[in-house]
Structure 1
Amino acid sequence: MSSDPWGRVDETGTVYVRTAEGEVVVGSWQAGSPAEALAYFERKYEGLVVEIGLLERRVKTTDLSAKDAQTAIDHLRSQVDEHHAVGDLDALRGRLDKLVKTVESRREERKVQKAKQTDEAKHAKEALVAEAEELAQSEQWRSAGERLRALVDTWKGLPRLDRKSDDELWHRFSHARSAFSKRRKAHFASLDAQREDARKVKEKLVVEAEALSGSTDWGTTAARYRDLMADWKAAGRAQREAEDELWNRFRGAQDVFFAARSGVFAERDAEQTENLKLKEELAVEAEKILPVTDLKAARAAFRSVNERWEAVGHVPRDARPKVEGRMHAVERAIQEAEEAEWRRTNPEARARAAGLTGQLQDAVDKLHKQIDAARAAGNDAKADKLARELEGRQALLDQALKGLEEFGG
């Protein structure tokens, strides 16, 4: 018979292990000496020691889940309980019992940490909802719209809450964004309506101006043209394309009339020659306004020159194109500066660009979610098809974003 502190082999080849509850049969050994039998089962014990040590390190140093850790503990415990090894099995059970407590402690810590993270996410989302609801009442269309888009990105980066709470907060958040979009759309629709009204008014002024272009009632007609010009300025701006076309017709009708009147008043050449001298001086004064660096000051300076210009009267017909061309060049430069400023600050165009960008962004976000869902469901074919569609939508979105940058973001 052969033995060691933790086990023995009897004369029949039966191997025993000593435990706190007494000796337990480990197995039978017939292939060699009793010493070889004990060595074999001692090696199995050492294997268990190594496995338990590895599991202890995994629990301590990695993010092994409590469920997986418990499964591994149960597996090792079953091997210890089957008594197929010679060694201090009671010590191994003690280590496994201690490991169970460690896993439970980690489980509780993670539960507390998760609850804390959820609470923080809830407060963060409530703050986002409160800000979105405040922004929904703003009339700062550009800055509020940009901020709402930033809030959406922040929301996406936060963890989900329980379904009921998350859905309720998202409903309020989405409702605030929709309310803002509706108000902004109504605002710019109102601007469109105003420009359409201006277009209709100016079309009527153009019709009358063209009808008067052949009149020979010089005094009355000239006065009426001045009234039409005042009405034109009071009507406000139409849409840009319509504004330019109507203005060219309006100005052209006046040119026809005043050219005819100039022909009749040819005998006033002496007076008109003096007028030409004065207008040339005014043209020099007007040209000093350029280049336009201060639009407000340039408009005021040109208005002063133009009022004196209008008071001077007509110049000889053959000299008129040149001298008026100089004034027109200054006026056009100021108009171009005004148009550039108007285009830069045009809320209608910004809103359209922002609206298109928002629609495309929503479509891209939706496709991302559909792709993730298809991948999760194992439908790679559908996911690949959606990914190709996403490439196209993303390209359109990039173009829209580039266009939006032209309006300062």
Structure 2
Amino acid sequence: MSDFDQYLAHFPVGLKVNVGIPVPGGDTFHDWAIIHSIDEDLISLQLSRDTLPAGVKLLVGTILDIRTGNEVSGYSCRAIIVTEGFKREVLLRLIGEIVSSELREFYRIDAFLPIKYFISSEQSEVKLKAAWKEKREARLAAEMERRQQAKKPWERLRKAPQNEELPSEELGDEGSWEDSGEGLEQPDPGEDDSRDHSWDDVIPLAANISGGGVRMLLHHKFEENTLVPLEIYLPSEPEPQIIDAVCIVAFANENYAASKQFNRTSYNTGLKFKFVEERDRDAIVSYISNVQLKRIRQMREHYLFRSGPEAPQPDVPPEQRLKLLIKTILTVSVVIIALISMAVYFKNYAENRPKNEIELIFEKGFGEYLKKIGRTPSQGQ
């Protein structure tokens, strides 16, 4: 089955889909739409609203996320806006493969991650979802503020054009910059002030994480179907990312071996994501993929170079070097003398070796034959 046939089978005409539209700040606006027509990889959608909220724009070239179904049996595909018509009818071109939501459930990895979980007495989904959205918006605002603070005043002065006139408060009394060493801290090129240091003291936990949830060893007993707010520090590249989510407890089984080891009751707790942004979920899957690729690369290098890198040679004292040199010279001399002696011995043996019985009988018979024909052995030689 070709890609076009798969698009037609998964996105038929009249299907109701969820459209994820990226907005500034890393957020995603979700709206539902109806498929009007599909021709190979071109698909026409009718959005549910005629007017989009402020800040949400459908520009040609924007990549959207088309989803249908639920988190258990749903699937999604990315699409790029080709043109926008009247009454919010958008023409898209499907790109990439159709990804099942089930794949993200089983695509998991064991890792040590800084994780914060909160024991909340509030179990209302509506209130926890509102608190989760508020916390996420506050985190995004704080992240934007940290990035703005990362731009130091001296960076603006250093990058200012030569013909730009600086404000009077940034000039000295005589119209030149005075470096008094006061008021501003000197920049440290190796220091990143925009990094969030609140996670420096959080001890990483051994967790089995996937796009659908996380399993951890906890000392607190959670009841099943309990809602648990969660924060995950994801050391992704090029910069770390903090995942805010609300999870529901899938299971909590006592781990007797861990309880005996830590002298404290421990539980294998499985948490399934209840409220989490799809961008954060995709970031988790991307992190898992990168870690897996690194592990495969390291394993491949291990099997290709099993001997490992050569260890550096230790420094040898001069006295030991002299002893080693003398020992080497003596060994070589003994070997040379032995070879010369063996060569002389075999040469003398080849020239003056004793005659065997056959050679003696042959010489005696040959001498008698020469006498019969009237020749002496001396004449025949």
Question: Which TM-score applies when normalising by structure 1?
Answer: 0.17
Higher relative contact order (CA 8 A, sep 6+): 2
Determine which structure has the larger strand proportion and give its number: 2
**Larger radius of gyration, structure 1 or 2?**
1
- Larger relative helix fraction: 1
